[in-house]
Amino acid sequence: MKLHFVFAALLGAFWRHVAAEVVQTGSVCTVTPLGSGDDTPQIKKAFSQCSKDSQIIFQEGTYNIRQVMEFTNLKNVSIDIYGKWVWSADNLQYWIQNTLPVTYASLYTGWKLGGTDIALRGHGKALFDGNGQVWMDENKNGSNRKGRPINLTIWRATNVLVDGITWRQSQFWHTFVAYSKNVTMTNLDMRTRSNSQWSAVNTDGIDTWNSDGVTLRNWTVECYDDCISVKGNSKNIDVRNVTCYESGCAVIGSMGNGNGPDTVDNVLFQDFKCNHSSNAAWIKTYPGQGHVRNVTFRNFEFSDVDQPIYVTSCIYSNSGCDSSRLPIEDITWENIKGTSRYNVAAGMHCSSAAPCKNFTFKNVDIKPRAGGTAKVLCANIRNQADMGLACTGTCPAGWPQQLKGNR
């Protein structure tokens, strides 16, 4: 009887191990989580075996991610995730030393996904847990640092769909789209917040860079930095139906601090709700090269926002504010309504060397939380007199993006 029990236990362990292997049936790879240890090897195996004209199914359960992942040669692959992916928190030195560079600002990622014709679906069940609290505590209110990984990077990809995924406690930015074209990301839920004395710094919802044709729909984001950020050499970006908490909401930038020109063209932010955020609809550039053209902020509702509208030519540095030759033009704010935390509705300082032009404001109604009339501060806007929003004073160079009190 005892021998039979031992044999049964060994057989059970064997079958559990077999069940955890990647099972390939024709062009379909099915993965079951191990339940403990490291699931990364079998995840990599599935992407290797089913990298072309295939489907990869990750069944329900918890997958432990303990290694970086780079799948950038996919072609016509559908990825269906029904389980929870957890990035390890007890091997920070591994991540710091091995995360993958993404070129931009010397940043790194833990997962690169690229190729052509890729669909990553979470079916409302996939949960990505980055164990971000350990990174917040390790970073101690710092910002960018070598090896702190962006959770998911869409890298040199064309025709990509990401849908139905929930993020909790991301290590750094939740998502990054770089060198990619025709990327659609829908029905995503992101939340990263600190439970310690150290803040959740730079936990952006998404940043786009060097990409063309990015469509975002139906996002909810709590991230304590930029909610939706469009960075340099991004064009044809269409973002709609987004709710942001504790963030910068809809952002162009930062941009203009690279070695070459940074350009942003044809961006629509529409149907946004910004709650208890630092800003709402804003543009921030360094005094570099390039341009920002044809950006629309439409149908914004917000409450308790530090500074709803903000434009600067010298973010962070507060130098070169009037020597920048990076023009900002053809910008529209339409149906913008809500309350500002302080008495400033808008602070806009453009470079005197490259004044802003063709600013248009339609149906803008911003009231200070404490009552009274909100200030609109402007500098170097060519069509200031007829842009549709009356300026009440001059915006100084180096105007802060984060207000802390009335002005």
* pLDDT, position 345: 97
Written as one letter, the residue type at 211 is S
Sign of CA dihedral 105, 205, 157, 217: negative
* pLDDT, position 259: 74
Two tokens, residue 29? 């790879």
- For residue range 304-335, list pLDDT tens digits in order: 999 999 999 999 888 999 999 999 999 999 99
* pLDDT, position 258: 77
* pLDDT, position 64: 98
Phi, psi of 151 (to 5 degrees): -65, -55
Q: SS3 of 22, please?
A: coil
CB 193 within 8 A of CB 151: no
- For residue range 25-55, list pLDDT tens digits in order: 999 999 999 999 999 999 999 999 999 999 9
Sheet (strand 149-150) strand order? 100-101, 108-109, 149-150
* pLDDT, position 243: 98
* pLDDT, position 6: 39
Two tokens, residue 233? 């050499």
* pLDDT, position 218: 98
* pLDDT, position 20: 59
- Identify the DSSP state of 223: -
Dist. CA 321–CA 288, nearest whole Å: 10
Closest CA to 172 of 135, 203, 209: 203
Beta bridge mates, 184: 161, 215
* pLDDT, position 12: 43
Q: Which domains does the chain have, with CATH numbers?
A: 59-394 (2.160.20.10)
Two tokens, residue 254? 């930062």
Query: In the chain, which stretches have pLDDT less than 50?
Result: 1-19
Written as one letter, the residue type at 205 is G
Closest CA to 92 of 143, 149, 45, 141: 149
- Identify the DSSP state of 26: T
Q: What share of the chain is helix, strand, coil (3-state, %, to 5)?
A: 10, 50, 35
- Dump the DSSP string for 133-192: HHHHHHHTT----TTPEESEEEEEEEEEEEEEEEEES-SS-SEEEES-EEEEEEEEEEE-
In whole angstroms, how far apart are CA 185 and each of 83, 100, 117, 205?
19, 22, 14, 12
CB 167 within 8 A of CB 188: yes
Other CB atoms within 10 A of residue 331 CB: 25
**pTM of this prediction?**
0.95
Dist. CA 140–CA 194, nearest whole Å: 11
Two tokens, residue 259? 């070695």
| Helix (H) / strand (E) containing 194 | none
Beta bridge mates, 375: 344
Dist. CA 374–CA 338, nearest whole Å: 11
- Identify the DSSP state of 356: B
Two tokens, residue 112? 């690169």
- Dump the DSSP string for 233-281: TEEEEEEEEEEEESS--EEE-S-S-SSS-EEEEEEEEEEEEEES-SEEE
Task: Say whether the peptide bond before residue 254 is cis (omega within 30 degrees of 0).
Answer: yes
- Dump the DSSP string for 315-329: TTT--STTT----EE
